[in-house]
Amino acid sequence: MSAYKDYMDRVGVTPEEHEALLKNIEARAAEAANAPEQPQLRKKKPVYRWLAPAAAAAVLLLVIGISPLGLQRKGNVSQEREELPGKSESRIESVDEPAFEDAPVREPQADKPEHAAPLPDDEGSGSTGVKCETEKSEGPADSGIIPDKKDVQTGNPQQSSCSEAEEGRSFLQRGWHWFTEQLSRLYRSLFGTN
């Protein structure tokens, strides 16, 4: 390494370069001293420092916190569904009763079909659930028998609540699916991970 040291001994700033450097430094220092003080720009807060953990925490909270709610809702719906067959069965049983089938058509009701007949149609027209429609087809209105006022009251509200529950559940499922998809898309775009 002695050759290297010898060489570096010869390397240096020449007197001319020294003078030029000195002048330049002094000029620049004077310029900096005379220059009006510029208002310091406010330093931007490092957003990404807290954005990433916050987003991750939000996703976690949503996944942990909302999905049980969805499940709970689903559970309620299934409970409702569990309850429904019993009620509908009782209704169907009442329809299948031979005594009811064989029962003679009462005159006053036959005279006024516009009173009783439109009711099941009106009630069933709003429903979209498949199950509820089939139930409707089994209903007393399609069998040609004009239902009792009592049957209409007990049967149709059950149908509408079932269809609403089905509709609500599917809406929730679709909403949840869309929401989680958006979140995962956002997460992917933020962190570039799959």
Partner 1 sequence: MSGLEEVMKQYENTVFRTALSYTGDREDALDMVQETFLRWLTKRPEFASPEHEKAWLLRVCMNLCTNLIHSAARTRSEELLDIYPAKDEEEQGLLEEVMALGGEYRSVIYLYYYEGYSTKEIAEMRGTKESTVRSQLHRARKLLKDRLEGKE
* Contact footprint for partner 1 (CB under 8 A): 1, 3-8, 10-13, 17-18, 21-22, 24-26, 28-29, 32
Write down the residue that tokens 């089994």 correspond to.
138
Output the DSSP codes for 64-118. HHHHHHHHHHHHHHHHHHHHHHHHHHHHHHHHH-HHHHHSPPPHHHHH-HHHHTH
**20/61 with CB nearer partner 1:** 20
**15/86 with CB nearer partner 1:** 15
153's tokens:
């009251």
CB of 60 to partner 1, least distance (A): 36
N- to C-terminal Cα separation, the chain: 54
CB of 5 to partner 1, least distance (A): 6
CB of 1 to partner 1, least distance (A): 5
**22/110 with CB nearer partner 1:** 22
Residue 138 has φ and ψ, to the nearest 5°, of -80, -5
CB of 36 to partner 1, least distance (A): 16
97's tokens:
């009763």
**6/107 with CB nearer partner 1:** 6
Choose among 54, 55, 80, 61: nearest CA to 169.
Answer: 80
Q: Rounded distance, CA 87 to CA 178, Å? A: 34
**13/51 with CB nearer partner 1:** 13
CB of 184 to partner 1, least distance (A): 36
